Structure 1
Amino acid sequence: MSEISIVQEHSLSPEQARSAAQQVAQRMAAEYGLACQWDGDVLRFERSGVEGALTLEGQRAAMRIRLGFFMAAFASAIEAKVAEKMRKVFVPA
């Protein structure tokens, strides 16, 4: 089991942060075939070999992804893509 943890600071309103989190989830769902569901301020996602959550906490978004054995080989590529997407949507230029 491999774990990825990404924290992105932001200055978005709660509504904007939720919209940004939804963008990240849609990208991940499309790219990795994940099922996503909100549970309060936590967006949970999963599929076979992958589970995690994107938690909105005030002025930061914290992503935790747990990868199973087969997906662990792609951990660095997944982390880079997710971190880049979070940077783009939570810290607009």
Structure 2
Amino acid sequence: MSHIDIRRKHTRSIKDARAAIERVAEHLAEKFDVEYGWDGNTMEFSRGGVDGHIALSAKEVHVTAQLGFLLGAIKGPIEREIHQYLDREFG
């Protein structure tokens, strides 16, 4: 299994950061067909071959995911896509 671990500092309020993560999740859901939902300030997402979460704190966004064998083969493009969405939302 491949593992994705991305941390991004932010200066937004939790409310604004949560709205930004929601937009990121919508893009990822559309692109990679994942299902997601919130548990407190952590968004959990999954689909066949991937399980992960986006944890939100007052100063950081932390994305982690376990990729199955098939998605592990395209780990690089998936990470780039996540970075692009985070760049767009958090600058």
Instruction: Identify whether the pair has TM-score above 0.5, normalized to the shorter chain.
Output: yes
**Structure 1 regions of 5+ residues with no counterpart?**
none
Identical pairs, percent:
31
**Which runs of structure 1 show a deviation greater than 6 angstroms over 4 or more consecutive aligned residues?**
none
**Structure 2 regions of 5+ residues with no counterpart?**
none
Residue 37 of structure 2 is aligned to residue 37 of structure 1:
yes
CA RMSD of aligned residues (A): 0.7
Letter in 2 for 1:82: I
1:55 alignment partner in structure 2: 55
* 1:30-71 deviation digits (Å, cap 9, x = unpaired): 000000000000000000001100000111100001100011
Partner of 2:31: helix, strand, or coil?
helix
TM-score between the two structures when normalised by the length of structure 2: 0.97
TM-score between the two structures when normalised by the length of structure 1: 0.95
Count of equivalent residues: 91
